[in-house]
Structure 1
Amino acid sequence: MKPSNRTNDTSLRRPVIVAASAAVAVIGSFIGSGAAGGTEIQKASGGALAADATLLAPYGSAFSIWSVIYLGLIAYAVWQFLPQQRRQLRHQRLGYHVAASLLLNAAWILSIQFDQLWLSVPIIVVLLLVLFWIFALLRKNRSTSAVDAVVTDGSLGLYLGWVCVATGANIAAWTVSMGWSGFGISGTLWALGALVVIVIIGLLLAVFGKGRLAPAASIAWGLSWLAVARISGELESGAVAVAALIGAALVVLVTITLRLRAMR
């Protein structure tokens, strides 16, 4: 007999915590956008995360993806609150991890707002690890409807993919702000190496996720805008721009191929 994906647990504690964490994250996003007396992320911490600050910084327009991600996370917070969804085993397993990711997101914004760039690095690394675990849970606990696939897998997948790119940019910003010499290796080579790591992660997500589109879409989005910044910004690098575009195309191509294969 196939195990049931539903339980009799209708407790409100978990969905309330997820919803409250989503509210905290959204408030943090307003502060990070420059509203409510906050400083725009790209201008905070001395401009360390600006498009021309490092070779791994994407063009400013890339950050508009946060609007889509936050809308998706809000939708998820509402979706998992519904009585029928509260009984779903996947939401019971996901809930507290999603809440943790949302609180880490808010903590990251606060660290940047208070010019604690060094603190933002371990926060975003832990956030990325939590999102990797969420991805594993999504893979193990399949969606039971098209709506759930879009709201849950889609939103959290976009979130994961973007944080993969953002983590590289964040670490680069911190090392540059510290005046790190890179052991004498050029910044371009370090940037290319970081891009290779991001692309490998994107490919692994495609393989283990059997062609999940959302993570690939946000990784490709981030890498594409990174390329734009290296072509049209003050900190130009043709090598980094080309590598970013090739990486984005490779992640998308492999993901779509695996997706089509899984649908056969």
Structure 2
Amino acid sequence: MSAARSDILRQSLVISAVVFMVIAAMFGAGVFGGTPVQDLQNGALAADATILAPASRAFSIWSLIYLFMLAYTVWQALPAQRASDRQRRIGYPIAVTAVLNGAWLLAAQFTTLPLTVLTIVLLLVALGATMRLLVRHPPRTATESIFTDVTVGLHLGWVTLATVANITAWLTAEVAPESWSVVADVWGIAVLVAVVLIAAATAIGTRGRLAPALASAWGLIWIGVGRFSGEPESTPVAITAWIAAAIVVAVPLALWATGRRGELPRR
């Protein structure tokens, strides 16, 4: 296959993958006869189901992520991007993340909580690998950075939080004993500390890219709101989540301020 045909195929597959993701999202929002996500799995994925579930307004970030994904899809399809070496490296990985995103929504609709956990973990791994490629092959322009690094970064940062929430939903609904609620606050705080460590490692690994931190912090803020003003109520978890949000954003800002971002060599 010639390089030109291979590039067109890549661009077409990215378009197809993102269209699939958007259709699945609409289905998950209750369009086309689908059941809204908060009502699936006996309510295990609802905003008031677990100690680490973000308040419902947190999920509005998906609209922003989808907007960036659609913008990337149009941009990467332009003739000027067809033979881009960077697009040749990241086009297929981004398509994989779009497919897994849509697959999670279908898994939530039609399968079981353990399969949703497996799917979202695969999505997190795919996003992490894609972000790593972007770091190793830095953008040449600010425009390219917005369409690629910001898009993947927002997706990665939010899915990091969503993975924690999804695993917690599964454990709470199907694994944890009745006594779980007695130590829920302690367990929730411990997990939030782990989230901070993961987010800090992400900031270092992505050389201070801010988008993942902002998306993770958004989720943490709304976990705090959910626990402070909703059910299950937990002031300790709410305060910890808000502190965690501040730390998550502070780490990449500190890397920028101290000039310790560095860059990985191109390969």
1:250 matched residue in structure 2: 247
* 1:95-114 equivalences in 2 (<5 Å): 95-114=91-110
Equivalent position to 1:220, from 214, 217, 220: 217
Deviation of residue 260 (structure 1)? 3.1
> Normalising by the residue count of structure 2, what TM-score does the alignment of the two structures yield?
0.91
Alpha-carbon separation, structure 1, partners of 2:107 and 2:82: 33
Deviation of residue 259 (structure 1)? 2.2
1:17 matched residue in structure 2: 13
Count matched residues: 257
Alpha-carbon separation, structure 2, partners of 1:91 and 1:140: 13
Equivalent position to 2:117, from 114, 121, 124: 121
1:188 matched residue in structure 2: 185
Kept after mapping to 2: 8 A contact 1:45/1:114 = no
Alpha-carbon separation, structure 2, partners of 1:155 and 1:208: 17
Deviation of residue 207 (structure 1)? 1.3
Deviation of residue 80 (structure 1)? 1.2
2:66 matched residue in structure 1: 70
Q: Structure 1 stretches of 5 or more lacking a match? A: 1-7
2:134 matched residue in structure 1: 138
Say if 2:41 is the partner of 1:45: yes
Alpha-carbon separation, structure 1, partners of 2:195 and 2:90: 25
Kept after mapping to 2: 8 A contact 1:230/1:241 = yes
Kept after mapping to 2: 8 A contact 1:111/1:119 = yes
Say if 2:190 is the partner of 1:199: no
Kept after mapping to 2: 8 A contact 1:44/1:115 = no
Which has the larger displacement, 183-192 or 82-91?
183-192
Residue deviations 1:98-135 (CA, integer Å, cap 9, x gap) = 11111111111011112521210010001101111011
Secondary structure in structure 1 of the residue aligned to 2:39: coil
Residue deviations 1:138-195 (CA, integer Å, cap 9, x gap) = 1001111111111111111000000000000000001111042399782222222221
Say if 2:168 is the partner of 1:172: yes
Residue deviations 1:69-106 (CA, integer Å, cap 9, x gap) = 00100111111111221222111111111111111111
Alpha-carbon separation, structure 1, partners of 2:134 and 2:178: 37
Kept after mapping to 2: 8 A contact 1:32/1:109 = yes
Secondary structure in structure 2 of the residue aligned to 1:57: coil
Secondary structure in structure 1 of the residue aligned to 2:52: coil
* 1:147-166 equivalences in 2 (<5 Å): 147-166=143-162
Alpha-carbon separation, structure 1, partners of 2:198 and 2:74: 30
Alpha-carbon separation, structure 1, partners of 2:92 and 2:171: 32
1:5 matched residue in structure 2: none
Q: CA RMSD in A?
A: 1.8
Alpha-carbon separation, structure 2, partners of 1:58 and 1:18: 30
Secondary structure in structure 2 of the residue aligned to 1:12: helix
Equivalent position to 1:56, from 31, 52, 55: 52
Which has the larger displacement, 178-187 or 15-24?
178-187
Secondary structure in structure 1 of the residue aligned to 2:32: coil
Equivalent position to 2:226, from 229, 242, 253: 229
Shift >4 Å, 4+ stretches: 182-185
Call closer, same or farther: CA 1:255–1:17 in 2, change over 3 Å.
same
> Normalising by the residue count of structure 1, what TM-score does the alignment of the two structures yield?
0.92
Answer 1 or 2: which has greater helix percent: 2
Alpha-carbon separation, structure 1, partners of 2:231 and 2:124: 29
Alpha-carbon separation, structure 2, partners of 1:139 and 1:179: 38
Secondary structure in structure 2 of the residue aligned to 1:36: helix
Call closer, same or farther: CA 1:248–1:182 in 2, change over 3 Å.
farther
What residue identity is the alignment partner of 1:32? Answer: G
